[in-house]
Amino acid sequence: MLAKLTTKNQLTLPREIVKEFQGITYFDVAMADGRILLAPVRMQPLGANLDGIRKKVEKLGITPDEVTDAIRWARKKET
């Protein structure tokens, strides 16, 4: 099946493919070996699965100090 790239860099996916992902509006996009990979993403409210977020932060090796520094950086006013 073909997918068309529009002049606005949007892909039009074949109906047969899209119907397999009912209820999905977001896809994670990655590149591997010269191919574009799309993976369906189910969006959840931020606090819906705090345990899952904590596990991901731990898996990524992010420390509490790094989180504190990131928050401080994000709240910093630009001069």
Provide the pLDDT for residue 17: 92
**In the chain, what is the straight-line distance between the N-terminal and C-terminal CA atoms, in Å?**
52
Mean pLDDT for the stretch of residues 3-25:
92
Check pLDDT > 80 for residue 76. yes
Q: What is the mean pLDDT of residues 13-21?
A: 92
Question: Which residue, among 59, 58, 19, 54, has the nearest Cα to 40 in the 3D structure?
Answer: 19
Sign of the alpha-carbon torsion through 42, 46, 51, 53: positive
**How confident is the model at residue 74, as a pLDDT?**
93
Mean pLDDT computed over 65-69: 94
Residue 7's pLDDT is what?
Answer: 94
